[in-house]
Amino acid sequence: MATCIWLRSCGARRLGSTFPGCRLRPRAGGLVPASGPAPGPAQLRCYAGRLAGLSAALLRTDSFVGGRWLPAAATFPVQDPASGAALGMVADCGVREARAAVRAAYEAFCRWREVSAKERSSLLRKWYNLMIQNKDDLARIITAESWFSEEARRVYGDIIHTPAKDRRALVLKQPIGVAAVITPWNFPSAMITRKVGAALAAGCTVVVKPAEDTPFSALALAELASQAGIPSGVYNVIPCSRKNAKEVGEAICTDPLVSKISFTGSTTTGKILLHHAANSVKRVSMELGGLAPFIVFDSANVDQAVAGAMASKFRNTGQTCVCSNQFLVQRGIHDAFVKAFAEAMKKNLRVGNGFEEGTTQGPLINEKAVEKVEKQVNDAVSKGATVVTGGKRHQLGKNFFEPTLLCNVTQDMLCTHEETFGPLAPVIKFDTEEEAIAIANAADVGLAGYFYSQDPAQIWRVAEQLEVGMVGVNEGLISSVECPFGGVKQSGLGREGSKYGIDEYLELKYVCYGGL
């Protein structure tokens, strides 16, 4: 789904109807008119008609701390990446607000950890149900996830029999404490629910710092949390601008009251946060960058491989951490695959506004992202790559780029060792299985990998040899709430989702019970 859908749906449904001719700024938790020139008709024409009807309660622009909507001394603008139109002005929190949020979360933790697993489960289910009821207003990104509500009841300990007859050994699982949750822009609701669902189910409380590009989703979820009866201070949100992001992130990650850091984002930022966590030895879970290989062996079914390539590459316009970054295609099937892939792209990919029926490719998040894709394409072409289709910015606007397929790609090109995060599919031709594995494993990251083969022995060999945390075998979409999500090497630490995800927010305590 196009990114523009999320931002516009969550951030500005009433721009065209309730507030004609004005911008928005925060006050008392809601949106109010601000002085200054209004966005022109050209900026609003694409979506104003579709913005009417969103519940005013979900249009929040202040921080949410201790169950209250609190303004900040300054605000920052959030923009629609498709048109560049301002969606609203959001509270720009700083270190003071961050520390206040941590204190609120810690005070709430002292109470929340004593709430029974059954009651936590019930509250999470209510929150989930409200999300589903408001899924259109939440930009249609909330899917029917289990949301850890039932996993709260399945936090089991152990009883261990010891050699001594008068002793019993018990292993308890207890909530770790306050969790700092730092999320990216590309899945602004799903990233929060996956982390926060596990944390709250375990008995932890959270301080969420959403991405500056997409704060409205986190704030809308806070309103629904309040409606669901989640106690004050359990779920806190502190939006901030890019200018304040570094100091706010450092403040919450070094605060002694924070026991856990959960981060999804770039490997570079992850290393900085790990440094902050090291000083007080905090628990961390990180889902960082990837460079997912997509391997097509000679035995593969071409149609299936192309369908998988389309799904794994162009989901969210290529802006996910598990999107295929380089396509390794064996010589015997190379030409047939490239031809079929190009035809599928031309037939099935439609670039446009996220609200337009039939759109499959929306804008990139900002012009910097477009420049990165453009740089990789130009670098590849200058070194001998051939543009099969696409290859340049799209006429729709500065944040749009044509879905692009390159062949004759070599390993010295930027697109083969730098995460793209855009609609670019570079194809490398290889001869042997060993060669493909070597190319795929050369990266210092290892989040996801995909390959297509009809050879059972080869499937087992390659699945075991790929140095990634998740493997798709004859499948291009691997994410599932029931399965553990995470990587190896510099792609991160820990796992999210599945029964393993809740363990990231639990401590083990051994109790020796003697004198029996």
The answer to whether 425 and 377 have CB atoms below 8 angstroms apart is no
d(CA 147, CA 304): 31
CA dist., res. 232 & res. 126, Å (int) = 16
323 part of the active site: no
Contact assessment for residue 513 and residue 503, using Cβ atoms and an 8 Å cutoff:
no
Q: Please state, in angstroms and rounded to a whole number, the distance separating the CA atoms of residues 111 and 114.
A: 6
Query: Alpha helices of 20-113 — where are they, by DSSP H?
Result: 41-44, 95-112
Catalytic residue among 97, 145, 287, 419: 287
- What are the phi and psi torsion angles at 295 (to 5°)? -105, 130
Spatial separation of the C-alpha atoms in residues 338 and 65, rounded to whole Å: 52
C-alpha closest to that of 213 among 247, 249, 239, 194: 239
Active site residue 250: no
**What are the residues facing 489 on neighbouring strands?**
445
Helix axes 242-254, 267-279, angle to 10 degrees: 30
Query: What is the distance between the alpha carbons of residues 363 and 370, in angstroms, rounded to a whole number?
Result: 9
Q: What are the tokens at 495?
A: 């796992």
Phi, then psi, of 286 in degrees rounded to 5: -140, 130
Tokens of 134: 């408001």
Torsion on CA atoms 153, 196, 254, 244, rounded to nearest 10 = -170
Cβ atoms within 10 Å, residue 25 = 19
Active-site residue identified among 253, 321, 407, 415:
321
| H-run or E-run covering 506 | strand 506-513
Strands (E), 43-96: 63-65, 68-70, 75-79, 86-91
Distance CA 357, CA 49 (A): 14
Chain length of the chain: 516
Q: Any idea which residues carry the catalytic annotation?
A: 287, 321
